Chain A
Amino acid sequence: MDQQGARFDDRPDPFRAVRLFVLFFRIGALNELQYRANFAVQLFQSALALATGLAVLGLVFGQTTSLGGWTQAELLAVMGVHILVGGIIRTAIQPNMERLMTDVRQGTLDFVLTKPADAQVIVSVREFRIWQAVDIVVGAIVLAIAIGQLEGGIGLGAALVFGATLLLGASMVYCFWLILTTAAFWIVRMDELHELFDGLYQSGRWPVTIYPGWLRISLTFLVPIAFAVTVPAEALTSRLTIETLALATAFAAVLFVVTRWFWRFGLRNYSGASA
């Protein structure tokens, strides 16, 4: 009998998620490269946001020499991390989650669910807005300037820990977004989610240690902004303790497992928007 259909490569592939990501990234990048004018617009918006941020820092340090124990250079580093992580979120995380929300509302998620790959991986890597990555570059530049102003600069160890905490933080933000978006399986109208997150994310512009206790705890465990911005900034400014690092690692792991479970739970309940 003739072989029906294409042949499958059934070998286990531990890097399948990475491969899919690279594939979707290329498609997304090629698509957006057609709209070069958007690059100029994004550049302009990033410059304006940066100028505003610097103006605010200037206002604060026009009145004081330190804020909650952080010097101006250290707060500049926090701002750099904030812009950089914000860029990562808007480049890779938010677009995917918004598309997922649209899919749930319009019942088009079925197209994803019928693909022979892990659905969570697909919904997480489909969209990529390269022009938003301008913020990643801007954040990195601000960070470099801040590090130059820090007393003693930073060593290789601190840089490595910084990289690690950044990754942990980004993964926690991703988990947070996916949990909220999965909730869209039940609550179909979640239009304000984006604005809610943007509003909350602004709090990361300052080290969460300056906030009162209840708010600090919320910004750490309810919305992982402390882990995404403050903890990496602490790594750069020799503030990070072993305990915090261990907590960040443990919390990231727990959050990841919970997210995966919640996503699968959501999928089981998903029946497609029939409306």
Chain B
Amino acid sequence: MTSSAPTLTTLATGPLASVRAWLGLYATQMRVAIASQIQYRVSNYFYMIGMVTEPVIYLVVWSTVARQQGGSVGGFTPGEFAAYYIVWTLVRNMNIALTPWAWEERVRGGDLAGMLLRPVHPIHLDLAGLAGWKAVVIVLWLPIAAFLSLLFQPTFSIEPLGVVVFFIAIWGAYVLRSMFLWLLGLVTFWTTRVGPVFDIFFTAELLLSGRLVPMSLMPDWARRIADFLPFQWTFSFPIEALIGKLPPDQLLGGLAMQGLWIAISASIVAVTWRLAVRRFAAVGG
């Protein structure tokens, strides 16, 4: 056995190697998350049924209204509502990010210390981990989506560009929402009474994102407020991209807006994370 000076066993450096290392990290963490989630199929199905109930309620209410109003309301027919809310279920699975409540346990339970000892920013492990979880739930989601389509007869007017934009936009929605929920979670570093803060955020999101109703059903003033907020890029935009409600310029403009918001939120996360760590390291875990 050697007793010489210890050698570091890291991979070669350089831009290409670095990219490969990052991809490797994401792939490994996703694999680990998938292997772990597959063991909890029953739990995941429970989650799925609870999750699907929400859009089904909205769908039933609004298609009832549309039928009473002579076939459409806010530009949506019952079939289009069905398309909207069925795509909603996929977008919802995609934009689920780490709940801000998890931070309380991370700080108190000591997981945070372990994260800080790792030589990578913990947001990467969160992003990759939940991406792996999505791979599992989307497999579970497929039969539910088929079932809902059979029952509610959605009408799509799918365009190739819309489909392409959709597949980019659901990942954009995921990253964007992850950034905001991370930021929200970091509030835990400064105060323990986080509940009201989270509640305000989630209520605003519910009303101003297209999660509750398509934005075209909201009053004008609410839509004007929503234009200055990130929420609609995480729900309404990807949904409407796929069901064919958006012209090409809005499709591409939407992606640009997502990118802009991701850049903004990621910078805020970077700064806030530093402040949060500084605070944690000052007061102790």
- Do A and B touch (CB < 8 Å)? yes
By the criterion CB–CB under 8 Å, are A203 and B46 in contact? no
The distance from the CB of A32 to the nearest CB of chain B, in whole angstroms, is 16
Q: Check A190 for interface membership: any CB of B closer than 8 A.
A: yes
Give bound CA distance, A57 to B53, whole Å: 18
Write the nearest CB–CB distance from B88 to chain A, whole angstroms: 14
The reply to whether B53 and A202 contact each other, CB–CB distance below 8 Å, is yes
Is A192 a contact partner of B46 (Cβ separation < 8 A)?
A: yes
Using CB atoms, name the residue of chain A closest to B68: A64
B219–A62 contact, CB under 8 A?
A: yes
In-complex Cβ contact of A41 among B51, B60, B193 (8 A): B193
Choose one: A55, A189, A193; the contact of B40 (CB below 8 Å).
A189
Total A residues in contact with B, Cβ cutoff 8 Å: 38
- The number of chain B residues with a CB under 8 A from chain A is 36
Check A63 against B73 for contact (C-beta < 8 Å).
yes
Report the separation of the CA atoms of residues A215 and B195 in the bound assembly, to the nearest whole angstrom. Answer: 33
State which of B42, B56, B195, B218 has its C-beta within 8 Å of the C-beta of A59.
Answer: B218
**Are B43 and A203 interface neighbours, CB within 8 A?**
no
- Least Cβ distance of B76 to chain A in Å? 11
CB of B196 within 8 A of CB of A41, answer yes
Interface string of B89-102 (1 = CB under 8 A from A): 00000000000000
| Segment among B27-35, B138-146, B172-180, B200-208 that sits at the interface with chain A | B200-208
- As a 0/1 sequence over residues 56 to 80 of chain A, the CB contacts with chain B under 8 angstroms (1 = contact) are 1001101110111000000000000
In the assembled complex, B11 has its CB within 8 A of some CB on chain A: no
B47 near A: Cβ within 8 Å?
A: yes
Known: A44-B196, A55-B207, A190-B43. A67 touches B65 (CB 8 A): yes
Asked whether, in the complex, the Cβ of A44 is within 8 Å of the Cβ of B69, the reply is: no
Asked whether B217 is an interface residue with its Cβ less than 8 Å from the other chain, the reply is yes
Binds B, one of A144-152, A165-173, A206-214: A206-214
Residues of A close to B64: CB separation below 8 A: 67-68, 210
Given contacts A63-B74, A199-B51, contact A52 B206 (CB under 8 A): yes
* A211 CB contacts on chain B under 8 angstroms: 60
- The interface residues of chain A lying within 8 Å CB-to-CB of B52 are 199
**A59 / chain B contacts, CB cutoff of 8 Å:** 212-213, 217-218
Q: In the docked arrangement, what's the CA distance between A41 and B43, Å?
A: 30
Pick the contact of A196 from B49, B218, B219 — CB < 8 Å?
Answer: B49
A45 in contact (CB, < 8 A): yes
B residues near A206, Cβ cutoff 8 Å: 57, 60-61
**13 more A-B residue pairs beyond the given contacts A60-B61, A196-B46, with a C-beta to C-beta distance below 8 A:** A44-B196, A60-B65, A62-B219, A190-B43, A195-B47, A196-B47, A196-B49, A199-B51, A199-B53, A200-B53, A202-B53, A206-B57, A206-B61
Residues of chain A whose beta carbon lies under 8 Å from any beta carbon of chain B: 37, 41, 44-45, 48, 51-52, 55-56, 59-60, 62-64, 66-68, 187, 189-193, 195-200, 202-203, 205-206, 210-212, 214-215
Query: Can you list 21 A-B contacts (CB < 8 A)?
Result: A37-B193, A41-B195, A45-B196, A45-B199, A48-B200, A52-B207, A59-B217, A63-B65, A64-B68, A64-B69, A192-B43, A192-B44, A192-B46, A192-B47, A196-B46, A202-B54, A205-B57, A206-B60, A206-B61, A212-B151, A214-B151
Question: Residues on B close to A: CB < 8 A?
Answer: 40, 42-44, 46-47, 49-54, 56-57, 60-61, 64-65, 68-69, 73-74, 151, 193, 195-196, 199-200, 203, 206-207, 212-213, 217-219
